[in-house]
Amino acid sequence: MDLTVDRYETWADLLDYMDGSAAVIGEMMLPILEPADTAAFGHARDLGNAFQLTNFLRDINEDLERGRVYVPQEDIRRFGVDLHSRQCSPQFVELMKFEIARCRELYASADLGIAMLPARSARCIRAARKLYSRILERIEAQKYDVFARRASVPTWQKALVVGRLIVPFGG
């Protein structure tokens, strides 16, 4: 779709795009991760979508350079934002708060699925989830200005998160 579509009118349209790029990755990982319940399927899709939406929010500026907009057009209009001005206006901040809340709902659903995984699988997936959601915290910490600099999690924080979640305690 990236070859023919450069923006998405609605959230449903964006979900259709993410179905082929992110949600399906969550599905494909499930047989390897061995969840205890088939209900993990939908939650795995939500994790893939949360990762993808996090990337979209972090990369708004870079995507504009490529002539792409992954924030739904209906949301942009609702908040009265002109992304091409690349201004971190009060309206843009409200748009970002809305999209970040949407993303956190996906992460909350994903957490339910992670709880359905065996401990050996859950540790790795939980680490990835924590690291990706930290990108949202970094966007907030820079007052939503994704135009001034790309939000990223410092390497030392990544190491700390991974160390705490991957290395089992007591053994």
The pLDDT tens digits of the residues spanning 105-164 come to 999 999 999 998 888 888 888 888 999 999 999 999 999 999 999 988 777 777 776 677
Domain that holds residue 78: 11-166
In one-letter notation, the amino acid at residue 1 is: M
Is the residue at 6 inside a domain?
no
Is the residue at 5 inside a domain?
no
Distance from the Cα of residue 49 to its chain's centroid: 6
Is the residue at 171 inside a domain?
no
Is the residue at 67 inside a domain?
yes
List Cα–Cα distances, 142 to 24, 69, 138, 145, 152, in angstroms: 31, 21, 6, 6, 10
What is the number of structural domains in the chain? 1
Using one digit for the tens of pLDDT, what is the confidence trace for 24-43? 676 667 665 665 677 777 88
